[in-house]
Amino acid sequence: MTVEAMTETDYPTSESFSRAFDPEVVRRDFPVLQQQVHGKPLVYLDNAATTQKPQAVIEGIRKFYAEDYGTVRRGVYELSARSTRMYEDAREKVASFLNAPNSQEVIFVRGTTEAINLVAFGYGRAFLKPGDEVIISAIEHHANIVPWQLACEATGATLKVIPCDDRGALIMAEYEKLLSSNTQLVAVNHVSNALGTVNPVKEIIDKAHAVGAVVLIDGAQSAPHMPVDVQALGCDFYTFSGHKIYAPTGIGVLYGKMDLLEKMAPFQSGGEMIETVTFEKTTFAKPPNKYEGGTPAIAQAIGLGYALDYVTGIGLDAIAAYEQELLEYATQRLLHDVPGLTIIGTAPEKAGLISFTLADAHPLDIGTLIDHEGIAIRTGHHCAQPVMKRFNVPATARASFAFYNTKEEVDKLVAGLHKVIEMVS
């Protein structure tokens, strides 16, 4: 839905978002992309960190606050009923988006980090014991490393790591060697935020299940960019963040199989996650309420629902195909037209991001200098310090793409990097 198409009284609907995909058309849906930075048209290439928001999401949230806001699940009055209905509708949209068998298996959290911590606490600390093993990979975000370290320290379990090769692809033969009857849990990302590697998660899940292990997939970098079917994957847990999929900050999703959610310990306690409370004993509500104590992020969840309407209206297959085309174009241009540039992460299967270094230029300087050309990229270790150590670099610059980016913007990135080279020469 374009800005012009949105009326003052209409809510966005899923039908409103259906259209043939054209990046130049969808760009008009994003108000922030229409501005200039330092006198240059904004080129926003930090989508792996967070994505911009379409007008339909912005307007839907504004209208909710202006006309329908009330707390959920706690009131019999009309505003509470409306809010509850919209909040639960958003849960249904998430379930449909992931092809979850039951919307009650969808837990609203603040983001991927909280989702992983919830599982590490509620499942890991409750069921791991000395002699058990947890497997992660060498290309994880800190959010999928530290919670498991803490869970292992608390329970006496051992953390093991799947190594990667020089391209940034996991060495699956080594993964198979790590698996044993001691393996209780495997937690890996679907797509690496630092390298762009698309991991063979279906194979990882199947091999883990063969030894009786539970599997969590960090989908923060996959859900916005490709179709996800949790039933086809067979994963036990799947997580993603709203702000990376054109929704507000402060909202995310944990999908979990019901039998696991029912036996896990709650991460937080308080209102709405209880069934009965006495001074002697408390019993807990069924999932998802069991894990949503306190007043939830109501407007953010509703905004996530609108964002999912938006991307499904375009089509995840179309998004994936276009972003792959953009990735291939950017890879060729950067490698062939920017002297001294090295891409870090060259796995055969990659999603739409490129991490790179540039001879004689520190990544922080690269990001600072091309910002003056209106170009926004990410620099640093990307919350993946073990990845930086593996590739023997202190940091990288990272350009990450969304469906509203264009080949012309890639050309501007190349031109901006040429200016960096001139400045540091």
Catalytic residues: 383
What is the separation, in whole angstroms, between the first and last Cα of the chain? 46
Residue 252: Cβ within 10 Å count: 29
Per the structure block, which two tokens stand in for 412? 């501007």
DSSP letter for 394, please: S
Contacts of 121 (CB under 8 A, 6+ apart): 147, 151, 265, 267
- Let me know: does 294 contact 267? Beta carbons within 8 Å: no
Phi and psi at 198, nearest 5°, equal -95, 115
- Let me know: does 374 contact 408? Beta carbons within 8 Å: no
What is the spatial distance between Cα 6 and Cα 10, in angstroms, rounded to a whole number?
7
Residue 33: Cβ within 10 Å count: 17
Sign, CA dihedral 382-384-385-391, equals negative
What is the spatial distance between Cα 229 and Cα 222, in angstroms, rounded to a whole number?
11
What is the spatial distance between Cα 196 and Cα 19, in angstroms, rounded to a whole number?
28
- Let me know: does 39 contact 53? Beta carbons within 8 Å: no
- Let me know: does 160 contact 135? Beta carbons within 8 Å: yes
Phi and psi at 395, nearest 5°, equal -170, 170
Contacts of 8 (CB under 8 A, 6+ apart): none
Please state whether beta strands 237-241 and 252-256 pair in parallel, antiparallel, or not at all (unpaired).
antiparallel
Name the 3-class secondary structure at 200: coil
Q: Which residue type sits at 279? A: F
Radius of gyration of the chain (CA): 22
Question: Which string of DSSP letters, residue by residue, matches 82-125?
Answer: HHHHHHHHHHHHHHHHHT-S-GGGEEEESSHHHHHHHHIIIIIH
What is the spatial distance between Cα 246 and Cα 54, in angstroms, rounded to a whole number?
7
